[in-house]
Amino acid sequence: MDGGAEGTGGLTRAEMGNAHHTHDVAVVGAGCFGAWTAWHLRRADRSVVLLDAYGPGNTRSSSGGESRIIRMGYGADDLYTRFARRSFDLWASLFRETGLPLFKPTGVLWLAREGDPLVSDTLATLRRLGVRHERLLRPDLEARFPQIALGDHTWALLEPESGVILARRAVSALVAEAVRAGVDYRAAHVLPPEGHGRLEALRTENGEGIHAREFVFACGPWLPKVFPGLLAGRIFPTRQEVFFFGPPAGDVRFSSPALPAWIDFGEEVYGIPDLEGRGFKVAPDRHGPAFEPDEGERLVSAESVARVREFLGRRFPALGKAPLLETRVCQYENTSSGDFLIDRHPDLENVWLAGGGSGHGFKHGPAVGEYVAERLKGAAAEEARFALSTKETVQKRAVY
């Protein structure tokens, strides 16, 4: 770097000398991963500054939006089931502490066809780990959920204690709790750090210097923009569309408790019953095209609406002509496999990366934050699947 500012994020020595305070940790990104990381670090008595360019749960973020499913099922994957169970307990504790009813116990229903490997493996894992569940055969499904046209589905797996978190409000509540506990939250646009060795400070777009002993970048789809040489081509932000349809007047069949959240894995579509009158949520889970989180237009296409309507008419016939109440364009930001990225930056010794979560990561925020905080303390063993070295440049999604 020019001017001898290696490892300072571009700050001059004069600016560094004028710093008023050095935090133990600076966390960049106040979404689910970053906010929980800040929360756990503060609980460990670390001084923390939490930074976000647009605010907790904002519309551009992957942690924004109305709702997220929290489920225990992950096929044969014990790792994410254990993370989900731990996170469920921590989410529940947060909601008890705040007095905010931001978890909706809808249950989660996995629709399955004969010989479906993912749902069969999920059933075996839930049995092995002692997670409460029910296996429902087609006659059970037809009796309990007549509003679903099953097609060639022959059975289903129900997680009765799982459900839905009201996402943007949960993130906002979490950040408010972290601030009450002493976290220093700031709205700030952080510029990409530069250099090698030890990072002393970050620079924000308005010229402020953020000084800390360690730094965690948990900024979701912005990670490849902050570290283009390292993560462009290894973190894949994709455009994802969400639709809310209006059930018929007075019809409670598409609200909880009459209908749980549901996953039709074979069709790569999931949905959430009408909560708080927002509408019946339907969202394709297939990865969309590449998407730019700052400047991307967030309008759905007529073709997308037609495809979702076609599915809705087949699976939930009473909603085939339901009015479209609301749409949303967000983004996933997955790694090549879908495994999280939680690792130290290879060139900046006191910088950590935490991301690659969206599509399935929101539910895991509490456990991810706990793991990151433990890694910073040197108290947690490295999980090889989260290592930067495992992230490829070709998408081969294996985690759902």
Q: Could you tell me what percent of the chain has a pLDDT over 90?
A: 90
3-state secondary structure of 19: coil
Helix (H) or strand (E) holding 111: strand 108-112
* Ramachandran region, residue 115 (left: φ > 0; alpha: ψ -120 to 50; beta: rest): left
- Alpha-carbon distance of 285 to 297, in angstroms, equals 19
What confidence score (pLDDT) does residue 20 get? 61
What confidence score (pLDDT) does residue 326 get? 97
What confidence score (pLDDT) does residue 262 get? 98
Q: Which of 6-15, 80-89, 143-152, 267-276 shows the lowest mean pLDDT across its residues?
A: 6-15
Task: Write down the residue that tokens 């489920």 correspond to.
Answer: 71
Helix (H) or strand (E) holding 195: none
What confidence score (pLDDT) does residue 387 get? 97
Q: Which CATH class is domain 2-62+168-235+337-390?
A: alpha beta
Model confidence at 258: pLDDT above 50: yes
Question: Reading across the β-sheet that carries 163-166, which strands appear in turn?
Answer: 67-70, 163-166, 103-104
DSSP character for 245? E
More confident residue, 16 or 150: 150
Model confidence at 11: pLDDT above 80: no
What confidence score (pLDDT) does residue 317 get? 98
According to DSSP, the residues that pair with 99 across neighbouring strands are none
Kindly report the CATH number that applies to the domain delimited by 104-163+237-331: 3.30.9.10
Mean pLDDT, residues 316-323 taken together: 97
Task: For the chain, give the mean pLDDT.
Answer: 93
Residue 259 binned pLDDT confidence (cut-offs 50, 70, 90): very high
Q: What is the pLDDT of residues 37-78, one digit of tens each?
A: 999 999 999 999 999 999 999 999 999 999 999 999 999 989
- Alpha-carbon distance of 228 to 24, in angstroms, equals 26
Q: What is the pLDDT of residues 347-356, one digit of tens each?
A: 999 999 999 9
What confidence score (pLDDT) does residue 380 get? 86
Mean pLDDT, residues 138-147 taken together: 98
3-state secondary structure of 75: coil
What confidence score (pLDDT) does residue 395 get? 84
3-state secondary structure of 112: strand
Residue 6 binned pLDDT confidence (cut-offs 50, 70, 90): very low
Give the distance from CA 59 to its chain's centroid.
14
**Number of C-beta neighbours around residue 20 at 10 A:** 6
Given a contact cutoff of 8 angstroms between Cβ atoms, the answer to whether 40 and 87 are in contact is no
What confidence score (pLDDT) does residue 4 get? 30
- Alpha-carbon distance of 373 to 25, in angstroms, equals 10
Q: What is the pLDDT of residues 382-399, one digit of tens each?
A: 999 999 999 998 888 888
Model confidence at 16: pLDDT above 70: no
Domain boundaries, the chain: 2-62+168-235+337-390, 104-163+237-331
Mean pLDDT, residues 210-215 taken together: 98
Q: What pTM was estimated for this model as a whole?
A: 0.93
